[in-house]
Amino acid sequence: AASAKYLTGDGAGIKDFLDKFDTFLFDCDGVLWSGDHVFEGVPETLLLLRSKGKRIVFVTNNSTKSRQDYVKKLAGMGIVAGPDDVFGSSYSAAVYISRILKLPPGKNKVYVIGEAGVEQELASEGIPFIGATDARFRRDITPEDFAGLADGSLLDPEVGAVLCGLDFHINYLKLAHGLHYIRRGARFLATNLDSTLPMHHDIFLGAGSCSVPLANAVGEQPLALGKPSQAMMDAIEGKFLLDRARTCMVGDRLNTDIKFGIEGKLGGTLHVLTGVNSKADWEAKDAIAVPAFYADKLSDLRDCA
């Protein structure tokens, strides 16, 4: 049966674990906090890791917020960080578009289904975009829209990519624009494919559930740029000059965080049991990913003698 090493509160095991790594990539929701509630002992644990010379990077799939938004959120939780300590799925998408995709002039606009976090990160990379929070897309579709989308007169000829993140104002008009851009050759990208968004001890629709209608209509899956996409890992490696063997991914979700670390051939993965997945999920025969280590909660790492 699949097994991971349990990091109990006893000092020795945790010290050995910490000694293996220089850098920790931390998933946020489900590891550091749940919604707006920071878990007990987390700020102190991060301080302790930093005092031991460990580098910490916050790696989140939340596409609705920018790195700057995360700095504020972290500060509100008592965690000091700068924008360069954060790597989110919207930023990952922006980096991919500007540095890998390199859309040609005249075809370099991005049509966005998503919230302000995507806009801010595209702007940070100097990428022109339309859609997103623009009120002109937050309305019912009309007969004139159907005609204008079909004959292309409503479409911006400079759009070369469609980027889909979580959009709390998703509607038929927005999806129809995405469909017609992709039909005319735009690349189909997604910030992340999380099927669900855990909130209030229940689930809601995640970013992945926003791109599904579009994927279904175009008959093509988007290229996703959040965890577990290795495009994100490569971008993190490039930015932080990672030694993968000395890096550990810490997360609560197997199909994003733990898969991300394993496929990225990191030195280790740590599953904490304060979020989406339980121990039984990786003990199961058909487990998506099995972590190298697990702990009941992040603050258990404090107990290193």
User: Residue 131 binds which entry of Ca ion, ligand PLP, none, with Cβ cut-offs from 5 to 8 Å by kind?
Assistant: none
* Cα angle, residue 256 at apex, residues 252 and 262 outer, rounded to 5°: 95
Which range, of 14-22, 27-35, 84-92, 236-244, touches Ca ion by CB under 5 A? 27-35
Angstrom distances, CA of residue 63 to CA of 16, 32, 88, 114, 192? 35, 17, 7, 8, 8
Smallest gap from Cβ 256 to ligand PLP, in A, equals: 6
In terms of CB distance, is 234 or 303 closer to ligand PLP? Answer: 234
Of the candidates 120, 137, 134, 114, the residue with the CA atom closest to the CA atom of residue 191: 114
Peptide bond into 228 cis (omega under 30): yes
* Cα angle, residue 127 at apex, residues 125 and 129 outer, rounded to 5°: 140
- In the chain, which ranges are E strands? 5-6, 23-26, 33-34, 37-38, 55-60, 86-88, 109-113, 129-131, 159-164, 187-190, 196-199, 202-205, 223-224, 247-251, 268-272, 293-295
Q: Which of residues 239-278 bind Ca ion (CB under 5 A)?
A: 252
* Residue 269 in contact with ligand PLP, rule: CB under 6 A: no
User: Is residue 22 among the annotated active site residues?
Assistant: yes
The pattern of x and - marking residues 107 through 146 that bind ligand PLP according to CB under 6 A reads ----------------------------------------
Smallest gap from Cβ 19 to ligand PLP, in A, equals: 26
User: Residue 120 binds which entry of ligand PLP, Ca ion, none, with Cβ cut-offs from 5 to 8 Å by kind?
Assistant: none
Among 4, 14, 17, 29, binds Ca ion (CB under 5 A): 29
Structure tokens at 18: 């910490």
Among 4, 14, 23, 64, binds ligand PLP (CB under 6 A): 64
Rounded CA-CA distance 157/7 in Å is 55
Mind telling me the catalytic residues?
Answer: 22
Binding residues vs Ca ion (CB under 5 A): 27, 29-30, 252
Binding residues vs ligand PLP (CB under 6 A): 27-30, 60-64, 166, 194, 197, 206-207
